């Protein structure tokens, strides 16, 4: 086994952790780690999630190396205070491309008209280690978003794979 060390103090790295399936298609299962209090410059508590690629190595993994593009990729939250990464899960292969996908919950996310509706971001699997910004998922690039309906629904407080529902 190996240990995963958080990126920054008070990020709450590991508040949610899940198997991610084989996101990058290398034959090893991967992990997803949520850090809902992580901040980016100018964006407090935007949240981050880290996809850590599976490995047979037992060396400790620092999430800062994932951010730097080694051993996985980071998923940066969309807006200040969204708390993305509060919940994370595998999603299975939602888009049928042979790579497993992940779900990132942001229960504090607002819509254009309501506060705290929450959002669940389905992020498609990929083999490269470049960062993903959830604003791209909102734009339909690399996944899609499930929005909560009403103010304070806080959709995304808990996310999970649903399997083959149809």
If one counts every other C-beta atom within 10 angstroms of the C-beta of residue 97, the result is 12
Per-residue pLDDT of the chain (166 residues; tens, 9 = 90+): 899 999 999 999 999 999 999 999 999 999 999 999 999 888 889 999 999 999 999 999 999 999 999 999 999 999 999 999 999 999 999 999 999 999 999 999 998 889 999 999 999 999 999 999 999 999 999 999 999 989 999 999 999 998 777 7
Strand, coil or helix: 63: helix
* Extents of the domains making up the chain: 4-147
What are residue 153's phi and psi, to 5 degrees?
-65, -35
Give Cα 164 distance to the centre of its chain: 21
Rounded CA separation 80/84 (Å): 10
Q: What's the DSSP call for residue 137?
A: H
Q: How many CA atoms lie within 13 A of 58 on its CB side?
A: 1
147 membership: H or E segment, kind and range: strand 143-147
User: Which pTM value belongs to this model?
Assistant: 0.95
Decide if 35 contacts 11 (C-beta within 8 A).
yes
């Amino acid at each position: 086994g190996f240990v995963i060390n958080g990126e920054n103090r008070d990020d709450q790295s590991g508040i949610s952790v899940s198997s991610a399936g084989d996101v990058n298609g290398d034959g090893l299962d991967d992990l997803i780690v949520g850090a809902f209090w992580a901040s980016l410059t100018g964006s407090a508590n935007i949240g981050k999630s880290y996809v850590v690629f599976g490995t047979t190595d037992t060396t400790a993994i620092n999430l800062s190396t994932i951010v730097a593009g080694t051993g996985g990729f980071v998923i940066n939250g969309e807006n200040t205070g969204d708390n993305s990464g509060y919940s994370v899960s595998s999603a299975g292969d939602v888009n049928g491309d042979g790579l497993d996908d992940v779900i990132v919950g942001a229960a504090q996310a607002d819509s254009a008209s309501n506060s705290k509706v929450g959002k669940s971001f389905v992020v498609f699997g990929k083999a490269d280690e470049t960062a993903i910004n959830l604003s791209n998922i909102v734009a339909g690039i690399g996944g899609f978003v499930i929005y909560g309906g009403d103010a304070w629904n806080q959709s995304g407080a808990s996310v999970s794979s649903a399997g083959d529902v149809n």
